Amino acid sequence: MWVRPVVETGYENLLLVRLLLENKIPSLRKSSVAEGLTIEGILENWSKIKPVIMKEWSENREALVDLFGKVRDEWIEKDLATWIGANRFYPGVPDALKFASSQIYIVTTKQGRFAEVLLQELAGMLQKQPKHQGLTLHFVEDRLPTLKNIIKEPELNNWNLYLGTIYLCDWGYNTQKEREEAATYSRIRMLQLSDFSKKLK
C-alpha cells in the first residue's frame, strides 16, 4: 500500500515524507489519530493527521508552498532533464494527447509554470481559457474527492466524468476503497489507461 493518494497539494509531500521518516510524533501518539501512523491509517486519517503535525512542527502552509515551489524551480533551472524524468506521464498518455482528434483542455492543481513545462516537454500542447459551448466534455481525473466535488455543481451536468483505475501504479492517485466508492456514483465511470487514447479519437 502507498500513501501518495492523500496528497492534494504539492507541499503536503514534505509533511508526508517527514512523517514516514520520523513516525514518532508525541502529540499524535497521544491523540485520537494515533492509529494514523500506519500506511492504512494515513490513507484514512490524513485530514486529521496533517493539522496535528503542522502544529507539532510549527509549520506554515504558505511557507511550505513557497519552499516546495522554490526547490522545484531551482531543479528545473539546473537540470530540466532529470526533473522531467521524475515527472513522467503515464505510458501512452503523451501519444494520446499528441494524436487525439478531440480538442483537449488541461485542468490541473499544479502551479501553471510547472504544468506548462511538463506539457511543452512531453506532449507539446497546452490549452487555456477553454470555449466549450455545444461540445460533449469528458473529464478524466484520478482523485475521487475532486470528482465528488464536480458532480455537485449543477452547471457541470453535461460533463462526462471518468476516474482512471486500472492500477494505482499505472494510472493515478486513488485507492481500492475509493474505486469501490466511485462505482456507487451513477455519473462516474471507470476508465482504464489502455482505453484512454480511444476516448480521444
List, in sequence order, the alpha helices (H) in the chain.
Answer: 12-22, 26-30, 39-56, 61-78, 80-86, 93-98, 112-118, 144-150, 168-171, 176-182, 193-199
Residues 6+ apart with CB under 8 A from 30: none
User: DSSP characters for 51-93?
Assistant: HHHHHHTT--HHHHHHHHHHHHHHHHHH-HHHHHHHTPPPTTH
pLDDT at 125: 54
CA pair distance 123, 131, nearest whole angstrom: 21
pLDDT at 166: 24
The b/e string for 91-100 (b: 16+ C-beta within 10 A; e otherwise) is eebbebbeeb
pLDDT at 164: 41
pLDDT at 11: 93
Give the domain ranges of the chain: 4-61, 89-199
CA pair distance 128, 103, nearest whole angstrom: 12
- Residue-level length of the chain: 201
pLDDT at 78: 95
pLDDT at 194: 75
Predicted structure pTM score: 0.71
The C-alpha cell at 53 is 503535525
pLDDT in tens, the chain (201 residues): 488 889 888 899 999 999 888 876 656 655 555 555 788 888 888 998 999 899 989 999 999 999 999 999 999 999 998 988 888 787 778 888 777 777 777 777 777 788 888 887 765 555 544 555 556 667 778 888 877 887 777 766 666 666 543 222 346 788 888 888 888 887 777 887 777 777 776
Query: Crossing angle for the helix pair 12-22 and 39-56, nearest 10 degrees?
Result: 110
pLDDT at 12: 94
pLDDT at 197: 72
